[in-house]
Structure 1
């Protein structure tokens, strides 16, 4: 008969295990509600041993935050091929996969959780936003964006973040609808900015030139055109 022997982990391997365990627990409950004792029990080690690898819950939380931030930033990576609308829709699908799988952890990541006020935690959150911003510019093939384009992209990244946080509170709108709506929101932000700026108008025209009628942006145009008769009738009704 053979008996199982627990393999001794190296320092870095144990640290990574504890980060993974913490992330799993944070995915189901707010980090504020998860104790070091629970993390130790889930990892199969003693509480003092957790403190051997991390000086406190804050340092373990920030290490878990680092891994979550890297994973979330990676969700915005997308090969720069094909129509932009379809690319953004795939990005939103992966983004909401993360949000769906790590609800409390995502909320903690974006709201600060127990690390509110921590400069390191705030820097990690900013890294995620910056990575998303840079990826969108890469999709647009623009290295030096105008002030208006910067505003559009950063506004859209913030909108995606806030939309996901609101959606987590009850999930009252079908996820797929929100993913498509956010892609439409990007086009709408570009269109509004294009109405004020010739350079943004050029960006918008380049985007739409490559979009198929059945794509997300074509879908938005179709939806808006179906509303046009009703919108046009509003001034006439007011004159009666």
Structure 2
């Protein structure tokens, strides 16, 4: 009887050790953990293949808690993408003080810092979810692209780009996104090399666009010259 009781107590003690202690977290911190878990899953699978139970399990939370904070999977998905987009946009804030190409290179470094440090968020933002990104989801992704466009135009002191410049800039931004996803998948090129390639890519795009618009030619000269507008 005594040995049976002792064995039971040892089993209960071992179970208690095996169970992770429930942590008390602030509302903001708990939301962040749930969104981080969701981004990780959404970066690996299509949205339709991720359930609330999957997110709860990955975050070490209950299903009810996910519903309590977000209402449902779509609300969680939107909130997680908004969080990733806001963090990326924060990284894109210009530092100022450098020549145009130096500023561009600095912006790319900060962009790829985010890609490296928040791989799941970046991948979910640009690759996860439905193929047709319309409505609210599409607007989140487009907001990041518009911010990049505005920052580049501001650095170049351009208020309204002509068609050739607009196409060149949008093409370059798409190339940066693709390069980020490719680098996360393969990581077979050093980041500084990739960043220099992308700077050279912009210069090359501007060179082509300059044949069709004198405005781009002036910008190209400023970009590769002493930085004077």
On whether the aligned pair clears a TM of 0.5, the verdict is yes
Indicate which of 185, 190, 193 corresponds to 1:169: 185
**Number of residues paired by the alignment?**
206
Gaps of 5+ in 2: 1-20
Gaps of 5+ in 1: 212-240
| Greater Rg by CA | 2
Structure 2 residue 69 is the aligned partner of structure 1 residue 53: yes
- For 1:1-240, what aligned pairs fall within 5 Å after superposition? 7=24, 9-10=26-27, 14-23=30-39, 25-26=40-41, 29-30=44-45, 32=47, 35-41=51-57, 43-113=59-129, 116-210=132-226
Whole-Å separation in 1 of the counterparts to 2:123 and 2:88: 12
Whole-Å separation in 1 of the counterparts to 2:219 and 2:145: 22
Q: What are the superposed Cα offsets for residues 151-194 of structure 1, whole Å, 9 maximum, x if unpaired?
A: 22111111111122222221222221111100111111112212
Whole-Å separation in 2 of the counterparts to 1:58 and 1:116: 15
- TM-score, scaled relative to structure 2: 0.77
Whole-Å separation in 1 of the counterparts to 2:118 and 2:172: 21
Query: Is the partner of 2:178 in helix, strand or coil?
Result: helix
Alpha-carbon offset, residue 199 of structure 1: 2.0
RMSD: 2.7
* Closer, same or farther: CA 82–43 of 1 in aligned 2, 3 Å: same
CA contact (8 A) 2:43 2:127 kept: no
